[in-house]
Structure 1
Amino acid sequence: MTGYPIKTYRYLRMAMVAMIVLLAVAVVIEWSKTEPHCLQTSISAYYYTPVRAIFVGALITIGVCMVVLKGNTETEDILLNVAGILAPGVALVPTPRQGQCHSVPVVLGDAAANVSNNMLALFVVGVPCLLLAAVFIIRDRISDPAGWTPVYVLGLGVAVLIFGGGLAWFLADRSGFIGHAHYAAAIVMFLCIVVVVVVNAEQLRRKRGVPRALANRYSVIAVAMVAVPLLMVAWWKLFSWAHVVLGIEATLIVLFAAFWITQTTELWNEGLRQQNVVRRAKSR
């Protein structure tokens, strides 16, 4: 990967980090306008503050980038695609709890009507996108049988399952969808992100020729992504911490940004780690 393709790849990766920083700055600015102890109980609850436009826009942008970017392995690619598909749902379906900490009252209008309109638009656009992905898979199977693997079909199947399940839920139980889809999408999205980091850490740990410091960096992030949320849940159980969700979300987002920056630095010139393996294999 050279020239314009690698530059585009870099820009997309950097755009994701920029969106995370943008969301964090917007939250901090909103927080600075309230009492120091006044925080929403989750990042999603900042939808009900002046942060809403950036919250929605940043999540949709991050979701698009995760779908567009190719993962280093088929497993990573599938996980990124699932997380990317779910990110707009997290953005467009607000958490039912508005919270009490906001600098000014935000007029939302009819939240149910907003969800119905925007999610329907997302589903309408998503169907042809999935059909187009199927066409690309069939075309690759015909043009390059040797490089094609059934994992591509698995990835499309997982995407169709997630997307189709969401659409069926939306059509069959609109009120249930509006009340619970945010949590369902957010939990699965974060789980996919954590597994992506764990997969990279394990891949580099087993791979020869990778600097030990780099492999350790991925491993530390992966362990922290699992251990810190568990410790926060334990603290919440013991001391009834009201901001446990906010703490877990903030921790995972910061650690994912650290992972993404680390991976972007590693792959700055190559784009995909898998290509390096192919080059070494061909040179032998």
Structure 2
Amino acid sequence: MSVPANSAVKTYRYLRLAMIAMIGLLVTSLVIEWWNTGPSCLQTSISAYYYTPAQAIFVGILITIGACMVILKGSTEPEDILLNVAGMLAPAVALVPTPGEGTCRSVPATFGDPSANIANNMLALFIIGAPCLVLTAVFVLRSKPELKYLAGLAVAAAVFVGGIVWFFWNREGFDEGAHYTAALAMFICIIIVVIVNAQQYHRKPATASKPSTRNPYAVIAVAMVVAPLLLAAYKWIFGWDHAVLWIEGVLIFLFALFWISQTKELWNEGLREEVGPQQQPGTPDQPSPAYRSTS
């Protein structure tokens, strides 16, 4: 049985659409919980909805999106490394709850033992993650890679080993701080991914997937940097309990907007051909045949 020439592109499409659907599912679950608690009652952060009936969706979506970010190949090596790191951090954001459980929930909370949950879930993640990382290293090293690919492997290993060391060396500190650390690092990686895409899109010659000089990624990147700073400044000046909620919400919305824009751009290409800073504009865009759609 022959493999269709555009099967790789179709796989990219399905993964990308799945991520958009997952974000929509998370938002829908949060809105339902907000509706059930009343319009004036909001948790102080999206992460605090872990302690509400939206918990299963919250945890499942973050793990799913994390897996998708690792699976999807970035168009450039920096983008790929950043997506991998963000994808590795997403399960930690999901499985290590924020210490602040909040007060707005539609049903009485039964918290159980968060520390025991963290111990079980993170240990399982580390046990399964270790052979996955080793297998990845085997695949990478077997192909005699360039330095940039070794750098990506080293970054992934450093994040993974750092998490293990923190988990076993200072469990109390891990339980209290891993969520915030992972969430902040994940969002930083995502913001840099958008900046990298803005740069590459600017260098990309005009094609059917780039019909004009407008750069949607640049707009999203600026918004991702400016909006959280403005919201944080407002909180610092006036005091605002829900600043983190809005910062997270804005970043998730902008990430969804970025993902939709990139999916639209790369619908028929799968991957964007990397364009170096010295490459002359006007060079025809020629993605690898493995990723070119025949439809």
**Is 2:206–2:212's contact at 8 Å kept on the other side of the alignment?**
no
Q: Structure 1 residues 238 and 168 mapped into 2: Cα distance closer, same or farther (>3 Å)?
A: same
Deviation at 1:207, TM superposition (A): 2.8
Q: 2:172 aligns with which of 170, 175, 178?
A: 175
Q: Match of 1:135?
A: 138
Task: Give yes or no for the alignment of 1:5 onto 2:8.
Answer: yes
8 Å CA contact 2:47–2:98 kept in 1: the answer is yes
Partner of 2:267: 268
Please give the alpha-carbon distance, in whole angstroms, between the structure 1 residues aligned to 2:259 and 2:5: 20
Moved more, 71-80 or 266-275: 266-275
Indicate the RMSD between aligned Cα atoms, in angstroms: 1.6
Aligned mate of 1:188, from 185, 188, 195: 185
2:214 and 2:192 mapped to 1: Cα distance?
16
The sequence identity of aligned pairs, in percent, is 59
Alpha-carbon contact 1:80-1:193 (below 8 Å) kept: yes
Aligned equivalent of 1:155: 152
Deviations 1:50-88 (A, max 9, x none): 000000000000000000000000000000000000000
Structure with the higher helix share, 1 or 2: 1
CA distance in 1, matches of 2:111, 2:7: 42
Q: Post-superposition shift, 1:266?
A: 0.7
Distance in 2, matches of 1:94 and 1:70, equals: 29
Q: How does 1:1-284 map to 2 (within 5 A)?
A: 2-141=5-144, 148-209=145-206, 211=210, 213=212, 215-274=214-273, 276-277=285-286
Corresponding pairs, count? 274
CA distance in 2, matches of 1:73, 1:162: 20
Task: Give TM-score scaled by structure 1 length.
Answer: 0.93
The separation in 1 between residues aligned to 2:93 and 2:150, in whole angstroms, is: 26
CA 1:134 to 1:108, structure 2 compared with 1: closer, same or farther past 3 Å?
same
Q: Distance in 1 between matches of 2:232 and 2:78?
A: 28
- 2:152 is matched by which residue type in structure 1? G
Structure 1 consecutive aligned stretches of length 4 or more whose deviation exceeds 6 Å: none
Match of 1:145 in 2: none
1:277, distance to aligned residue in structure 2 (A): 4.6
Quote the offset at 1:175 in angstroms.
1.0
Q: Which moved more, 1:60-69 or 1:267-276?
A: 267-276
Displacement of 1:219: 1.1
The amino acid across from 1:160 in the alignment is A
Pairwise CA distance, 1:279:
5.5
Shift of 1:8: 1.4
**Distance across 1 between alignment mates of 2:268 and 2:215:** 21
Give ranges in structure 2 of 5+ residues lacking alignment. 275-284, 290-295
